[in-house]
Structures are given as structure tokens and as C-alpha cells.
A and B are shown apart, each in its own frame.
Chain A
Amino acid sequence: MRTLFLCCFLLGLSGCVRVSGYERGYLSEPTMQPIVDPLEQRADTQLHKAREVSSGGIWSPAGGGCGCTN
């Protein structure tokens, strides 16, 4: 129930915030992108997926295979 409320709350936010295109300069900074460096993120995922019960990167859903490499 709490999760559902959170989802509705986040969806609802879209109706009350409007940032125009010309105001998004800071949001387009490379460090503000969801994936800043694809290979670094891949290396991080590699480090964690074979050593923790919750395999998969922090953004991916729960992992697929066993993560048998390293």
C-alpha cells in the first residue's frame, strides 16, 4: 500500500512541475545523466553481481543469470 502511494505520489508530481527546455542546461550535464560512464557502470555491476545475493546493477531489475564470472 505504501509502495502504491509512493508511485502515485511520484506520478502526481509530473502535473505540478514544469521546467522549460531552456532551463535544463544543468540537467544536461554529463554527471546528471542516469548513466554517466557506461563502462564504469558495467565494471561496478561486475564487481557486485557475483558477490551479493541481489545480483544486477543498482538500476537493473534483479539479475538474470548466475553471474558466474569473477
Chain B
Amino acid sequence: MAARTRGEGPIGKAWALLPLCLALFCSDTTTVADDTEVLDASAREGWRVEESRVRFVYYDQRGFGYQSQAGPGPRGSERLYVYEPMLYLRVRQNRRVQHTVTLPVDVITSASTDAIDVMTSASRTNEAGTLQFDSEIQTSADNRIKVTYGGHGEEWFGSVFAGMGYTRELAQDNATIMVRVDGNFDWFKAYGPWPGAEFPEADNYDYRGSFGGSAEVSQILNPTTYVKAGYGATWQRGDLATPWNSVPVFCDDELTVCLARVREVFPRNRLRQTFSGLLAHYLPKSATTFRLSYRFYFDNFEARAHTLLGEVYQNLGDRVLFKGHYRMHQQSAVYFWTTNLGVFDIDPNAPKTSDSDLARFWANEFGLKFLFRFSPPGRPKQHDLDVYYNRYSRTNDLTVNVVSIGYGYTY
């Protein structure tokens, strides 16, 4: 089945015109500050592709989770494979305006681990596609606007999204501030006994939406180091549950046998917030880059998460770049997480989930990457090829091996 990308209706077409209007407006503008006159002079340059990239990623996941029905006991299999080809294009319209197009396609086997919901049988393969456009417009020497829009489609699920950001350079480009707003809208088929419904409804579409804002500050500390810090918040409303996730009911004390399963239920509002920081440092003598990132997350489901990421890039001569990374993630469970609903807890409207992704756990990840350049740095028309391997493992019995190969061409 071909991947479907939704959101191509009248609204999608209208969104398509938004960055174009901004781009045309900016390319014809002559009443900007004096320091942008140089930009005006070259604003009539024609469209040209500056960079193209393709990547193929393979995910191999093994593990068990209480939300999955693919097993004899309460903990079902979470085994799945994902094949993900991706395409990226960076196109310059003129000196002021640049566009990027990103197109990832996922082919997921056993997408819902043997059941798309509590009631029906399996959809063993799912295809998903996303089409994202980003347009960045340099409105003056110190100011940029970035517009993002696109859509996502997969079996029984569609989504459209849009956002806009503003960036300002300060102190002779030594500091940057950025503010951004984003929104998205999802619609999907929800099977199974509807929370609170007298009879199971088998063909309902349900909806959810989200609106978010973020702010970021970056600062150069010296000729080899900069830092970045940010805050973001997202408010979500609607059916936030995953339709095919189930919750075991009436299990024995050892959690080996359960009498039934019910659909998971989430509260209809969620406020998610993050603080994040990045430190990047370059060692000129050894041509090494160190990057350290940290992210703190909290929401009104009482979940808290800390994520630490360390990366090292090492140039091995002119033609080879090595990257190694280690990532550590720790999270607490949402307040309504359970592995066994009792007789008196079966209120259909009460929030409940057994999703192992929302449980308390630690996750460790390490990765290795080699990038090979086919021509020395500094020359036009650069080709590069890279391969990487990542291993992600969690303390609640989930492991993912990721292998990827990518090719890039800079014009």
C-alpha cells in the first residue's frame, strides 16, 4: 500500500501559499535597513539546489510491554521492524530566502504488535509518510523569520502542522535570541469500547490538537565555544491515548494470567514543558568537537524526565569524520500507569495506561558513525557517505538496534 500524506485539502493549499507570499514580499522589499543593501543586490539570484541528502534507516526492536496483547501473559511482545528512507533538499531562492524539504517514509512491520486496538485483529504492516517544508527568510542583516508547515499520514491517522519562528542576532552576532510558535492537529480512527459508551463503536474518528511556544538564547563564549539554552511548552487537548494500547484487568498476583483487557484512557488536557541546554566546544589542535546537551521535561501527568547527551566528533584526516555519542535518559511514570486494574478500578472514564513507554525507567544509548568525504574540504561539489549504528536499551525490557546509511551532495 502506498504511503499517504494527508492535509492536501483547501487548508493545506492555503498554507502552501504562506511562505511563498512571505518570500515574494521579502525579495521585492527595498525599504529595509541600510545594512541589508548588500543583500538586496544579490536578491535576484535564481533558484538553485544547495544541498541534497538521502538516508535509509533500519530499526530492529525487541522487548515486552504490558500494553501489548501479542503474548500469552500480560506482557506482550513489542517486536517490530521499521524501514525508513528519507530525502532532504535545501534550495536557495535568492540571498534572502532559503527553503528545505524533508520527506521521511516509514514502513513498519507489526506496527501495533498484533492488534490495532483492544477489539480487532492485527494490522501487521503500516506505512507512514511526512512531508515538511521550512522556509527561512532573512528580513535584514540581523533578523530572520522561519516558517514550517507540512502533513503526516498513516493508516487511520492524519496530521497537519505549522509553525513560525523569529530569530534576532545581537551584539555583532555574538548572541542570538529565537522565539517560535507551533501548532498541529491530528485525526485518527479509534476502535474499541469508547470510554463511557454503552456499546462499542467501531468506526469513530477522534481528534486532538496542540499548540506550543518556545524561546532560545545562544551565546558565543570564545572563538571555539558557544552555549545555548531554551524553554518550550506545549498544550495538548483531545483524545491523547493511543487507540491500540490496552490495559490488563483482573490479573493474578504474579501477573501471569489476566482475565480481560480494556482500552487505555488519558486525561483530555496535557501541558508539557522543557528546559534544555547545549555546550559546544572545538579543539583546533586535534580537530575535535565536543558537544554536551541536557534536557529536563515535566508535565501535568506528573511525569519527569532528565536526558543527557554527549557527542564527540573527530576528524581523521581530510576525508574521514568519526562521531561517537552516549545518551542517558531517566523518567518517572505518569500518575495513572498500572499493570493490573482491579475490580473496583474499572471506571471507563478514569485515566489508565499500561504503556511501557510511559513507565518509570532508565534508557541508555550509544552510537558510532563514520562519514567519508569524496573530495577535500573547501572544494565545491562535495560528496559524502556515512554509516552509523545506534543501540538503545531500557531497563523495562526494550532494546532497539538502529543501522543507517546516508549520502549527501553539496552543490
- A: residues with CB less than 8 A from B are 3, 6-7, 10-11, 13-15, 17-21, 23-27, 29, 31-32, 34, 36-40, 42-44, 46-48, 50-54, 56, 58-66, 68-70
Contact A34 B293 (CB under 8 A): no
Contacts A64-B161, A68-B157, A68-B242 given: A39-B295 contact, CB under 8 Å?
no
Does B320 sit within 8 A of A, measured CB to CB? no
Does B398 sit within 8 A of A, measured CB to CB? yes
Q: Which residue of A lies closest to B280 (CB)?
A: A32
Smallest CB–CB gap between A53 and chain B, Å?
Answer: 4
> Which 8 A-B residue pairs are closest in the complex by CB-CB distance?
A61-B232, A62-B272, A54-B297, A14-B175, A31-B289, A31-B313, A54-B305, A61-B214
Q: Which residue of A lies closest to B211 (CB)?
A: A64
Contacts A32-B289, A52-B357, A61-B234 given: A39-B228 contact, CB under 8 Å?
no
Contact of B186 among A52, A58, A66 (CB under 8 A): A66
Contact A59 B276 (CB under 8 A): yes
Contact A61 B220 (CB under 8 A): no
Contact B217 A11 (CB under 8 A): yes
Smallest CB–CB gap between A9 and chain B, Å?
Answer: 10
Interface 0/1 of B51-89, CB less than 8 Å to A: 001110101010000000000000000001010101010
- Cα A15 to Cα B220 in complex, Å, equals 11
Smallest CB–CB gap between B353 and chain A, Å?
Answer: 11
Contact partners of A19 in chain B: CB under 8 A = 174, 220, 222-223
Contact partners of A10 in chain B: CB under 8 A = 217, 219, 227, 229
Smallest CB–CB gap between A67 and chain B, Å?
Answer: 9
Smallest CB–CB gap between B362 and chain A, Å?
Answer: 11
